[in-house]
């Protein structure tokens, strides 16, 4: 009698070399497009599946988990897992995994790209050249701000926040963290940890590196934006909803802060219209981990997690909550 292979739903196109690692031991149900699978279709296709490989923007809620009547493992190709009902999964004995560490360097690089783009007005200058707005060198054209001697305030002292901080000495910047108690707080020296309020009041660049939770949603709002220096800029490469975009648009309009660099948004792919036309805002389409090397490694780790769990072995990077 031939043993039936476990079936795995993969919600997005992935490198064929990575998917080939699933083929020997699993039956693969692949959504080959780059578009989102509707939630109803995710639920329908989860029936009878033992494994799920999903992306951060797939909503794997209690309904989806209930539809996956045979699920044993959910592997998200992301660090954050706020899109997955981990409690519902745990109640069913389903292992949830993520892809930590791998995207740290790529996201830190993009964070610095946004910092430099905003402070040195790179996007604005590029647009000026393209539309013929540059007629020759002048002494005071496109003046930006230097980073040397300034303070970088990092909200969240996880892997990515620390990787961003590691580059700051190259620009002769002082670093402070607003870190939560526990693992984050233990990973940085006490002298660099300040309250969020002090960080906002004193930092020239505020960079967000937070997971999305009930306590971090809209942590940047009208009140906290009003605490920032008028010469400061805000950078977000973590999760969109940690920033209240309506409040950010207001703060920029009122010139309460000097600019912003955003790679993530509250209602992706929608961007608040108040941000779209502002020259002092740099917008990128959630590309923090978008390098060939990083995305391939993330996909490979997710596949490995599924293969290990379905093979009766422990997950490589299980989510603990």
Instruction: Write out the catalytic residue numbers.
Output: 239, 268, 286
Among candidate residues 160, 66, 42, the one with its CA nearest the CA of residue 110: 160
* Closest by Cα among 258, 170, 245 to 206: 258
Q: How many CB atoms lie within 10 A of CB 202?
A: 17
Whether 15 contacts 62, CB under 8 Å: no
17: Cβ contacts below 8 Å, ≥ 6 apart: 296
Instruction: Count how many residues are written for the chain.
Output: 321
Q: SS3 for 189?
A: coil
Query: Cβ distance 289 to 108 under 8 Å?
Result: no
DSSP 215: T
Cα 289 from Cα 299, distance rounded (Å): 12
First to last CA, the chain: 40
């Amino acid at each position: 009698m031939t043993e039936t292979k476990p079936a795995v739903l993969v919600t997005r196109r992935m490198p064929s070399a990575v998917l080939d690692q699933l083929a020997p031991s699993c039956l693969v149900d692949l959504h080959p497009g780059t578009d989102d699978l509707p939630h109803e279709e995710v639920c329908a296709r989860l029936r009878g599946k033992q494994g799920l490989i999903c992306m951060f923007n797939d909503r794997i809620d209690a309904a989806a988990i209930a539809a996956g009547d045979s699920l044993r493992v959910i592997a998200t190709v992301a660090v954050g897992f706020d899109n997955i009902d981990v409690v519902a999964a745990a109640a069913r004995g389903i292992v949830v995994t993520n892809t930590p560490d791998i995207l740290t360097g790529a996201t830190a690089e993009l964070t610095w790209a946004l910092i430099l783009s905003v402070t040195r007005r790179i996007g604005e200058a590029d647009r000026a050249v393209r539309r013929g707005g540059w007629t020759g060198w002048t002494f005071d054209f496109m003046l930006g701000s230097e980073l040397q001697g300034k303070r970088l305030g990092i909200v969240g002292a996880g892997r990515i926040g620390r990787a961003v901080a590691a580059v700051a000495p190259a620009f002769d910047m002082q670093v402070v963290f607003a870190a939560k108690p526990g693992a984050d707080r233990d990973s940085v020296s006490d002298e660099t940890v300040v309250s969020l309020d002090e960080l906002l009041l004193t930092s020239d660049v505020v960079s967000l590196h937070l997971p999305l939770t009930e306590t971090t949603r809209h942590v940047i709002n009208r009140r906290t934006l009003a605490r920032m220096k008028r010469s400061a800029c805000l950078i977000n490469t973590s999760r969109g909803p940690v920033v209240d975009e309506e409040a950010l648009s207001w703060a920029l309009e009122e010139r309460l802060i000097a600019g912003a660099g955003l790679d993530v948004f509250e209602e992706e792919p929608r961007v608040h219209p108040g941000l779209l036309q502002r020259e002092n805002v740099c917008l990128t389409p959630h590309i923090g981990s978008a390098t060939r090397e990083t995305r391939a490694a993330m996909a490979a780790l997710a596949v490995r997690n599924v293969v290990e769990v379905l093979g009766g072995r422990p997950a490589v990077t299980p989510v603990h909550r």
